[in-house]
Structure formats: C-alpha cells, structure tokens
Amino acid sequence: IMMHPDYTGLLRDIFRNRELPQDFSLYLHMPTLTDPSLAPDGGEAFYVLSPVPHLGAGIDWERQAQPYRDAIMDFLEQNYLPDLQANIVAEHRIDPRHFAGTLNSYLGSAFSIQPTLTQSAWFRPHNRSEDVDNLYFVGAGTHPGAGVPGVVASAKIVDNLIGAPTPARAPSSSTRSVSTHTGPAAPAETPPAGG
C-alpha cells in the first residue's frame, strides 16, 4: 500500500469533491510472488488499485481513464518500477463503468458503501435479515467489509448462519403493542340498555 502523505486530501478529492485525485494512493499486489502459476514462465502478474469516485461524480471515463492510467504508470516507473510499461505483455483496465455494467454495482462503486465509521465492520448491513426469515446477504456491502478477504469472510459467515437458530427478534413497530395500564384489568363496560 502506497499512502499519499496527504491522505485526508485524497479522501476529500474522492468523496467530497468527486474528482480524480492528482496525487494518489495505490494498493499494489503481485500474486505470482506466492503462486507463480498465475503467469507464464518468466512472467509476473501485477495488480494496481487506485481509489476513484463513483459514477455519480460525472467523470467522463471515456476521456479520463487513459490519462489517469498513464499518470499512475509514470508515477510507478519514476519512483519504484523502472521500465514497467516496456515490460507489459498484457493489460486489463477496470473503471467504475465495469463495476456498474458487469457487476451491477450501484454507481460503479467497487467497495459498496462508503467506508465511514458508522458503515464499517459491525455497523455494515448484517449477513442475516432482521426482517425476513431465511434471507441472507453476502458481498462487499455486508459485514465484515469490502475486498476479497471481506467478501470471502462474509460468505463464510453466511455459511455458518444458514441452518443455525435464528435469534429472537424484538417485535417490529408495526406489530408492537404498547399498554400504559399497570393495574388489574378494568371490568368490561356494559352497553346501555336498548342499545
């Protein structure tokens, strides 16, 4: 993980200003370091993730995707991986349009809901419906969170929940009855004669 020194500015650009950050933080992963079978002999598989605003930001990805990719590659070459671009054999780029069109993700959000404190960990939507019996939720928008580890963990949680006893629920507001009477039951009123 390469964190930009002004991480709060990066978050402000993405979530408040809804613009592509000029200075970015990156998540880098090279899975072939632990599993060489993921690339042809002598090759590597390399993954770069840069957080960007969702489609509600109005960014023209048709025009902006390539220049943004180029800025990231230039940054990596200048600071960490000389000649990176000259050694690329195959490349696949994904932007929010892919998440919206292929994965049906709302506004192309790769990680589902915004990672604020009140939408993180236990505060995320739970894996078992609190309103409908035998309805379960799994994925980036549920507990425990986004990313492959979070999604796999949510699947394991749901696997353990299916068939497990459902905890008792408090009555919902539509079925809850409230009584302020605390004494013995009042005698039934007798309707007036002649009725």
**Taking the model in full, what pTM does it have?**
0.68
Decide: residue 19, CB within 10 A, 0-12 exposed, 13-18 middle, 19+ buried: middle
Query: Dihedral, CA atoms, 62, 101, 54, 155, nearest 10 degrees?
Result: -150
Residue that finishes a domain, picked among 53, 79, 102: 102
Is there a domain that residue 5 lies in? Answer: yes
Tell me how many domains the chain contains.
2
Domain membership of residue 127 as a residue range: 111-167
Is there a domain that residue 173 lies in? Answer: no
pLDDT in tens, the chain (195 residues): 877 777 788 888 888 899 998 888 899 999 999 999 999 999 999 999 999 999 999 999 999 999 999 999 999 999 999 999 999 999 999 999 999 999 888 899 888 887 778 888 778 889 999 899 899 999 888 888 888 888 899 999 999 999 888 877 666 554 433 333 333 443 444 444 444
Q: Facing residues of 128 across strands?
A: 136
Q: Facing residues of 49 across strands?
A: 27
Residue that finishes a domain, picked among 55, 80, 102: 102
